Amino acid sequence: MVVLSENVLLEFKHRFEKSLENLPISVVSRSTAIVNDAEYPVKFDFVTETIVDYKKQVVTTNIVKIEGTIPGTIKIGAITVVPQHIHITCEYEILSITNNELKTLVKNEKPMLLYSDWLLEAIENEILVLEVKTDKDQLVDWPVGIKNAFFL
């Protein structure tokens, strides 16, 4: 394993950390909600935070907030999820950059564009599990596949 020099971490921190604080991202789930027999996308806003960890020599991006509204009902097998607002504060690791990836990023002509591509790809490949309410007043886990993600 190639060990990152502290200089690469410092350069990343200096050049990018401020622009990666509280980064808002909008996502659309693969599921749709039914309202009056019409399908509507289920959208969420994520806020991410990127942290440089010198001890572990890694740069990690976490989702720190998920907020959105399920505008109608969603069928999950025999269960019906009801319309509701979701607001979650969390620390969900979505992207970790180590060693050669970080060096590639720092040396790239358009490092923020490359980082953005990596982050959006990581989000689109993730399946989140959110706790939601049903029509039977129960809480169930809803696996949310992400159809697409984009920066606000």
**DSSP letter at 74?**
E
CA distance 49 to 74: 30
Over the Cα atoms of the chain, what is R_g?
Answer: 18
CA distance 68 to 88: 9
The confidence score (pLDDT) of residue 112 equals: 81
| Percent of the chain residues topping a pLDDT of 70 | 95
The confidence score (pLDDT) of residue 19 equals: 74
Please, what is the average pLDDT of the chain? 88
| Percent of the chain residues topping a pLDDT of 90 | 61
Ramachandran class of 99: left when φ > 0, alpha when ψ lies in -120 to 50, beta otherwise: left
Region 91-110: what's the mean pLDDT? 85
Q: Token pair 């009056």 is at which residue?
A: 36
Length of the chain: 152
Domain definitions of the chain by residue range: 6-146
Q: Are 95 and 60 in contact (CB under 8 A)?
A: yes
Region 72-88: what's the mean pLDDT? 95
What b-and-e string marks burial along 80-97, b requiring 16 or more CB atoms within 10 Å of the CB?
ebeeeebebeeeeebbeb
Region 91-97: what's the mean pLDDT? 92
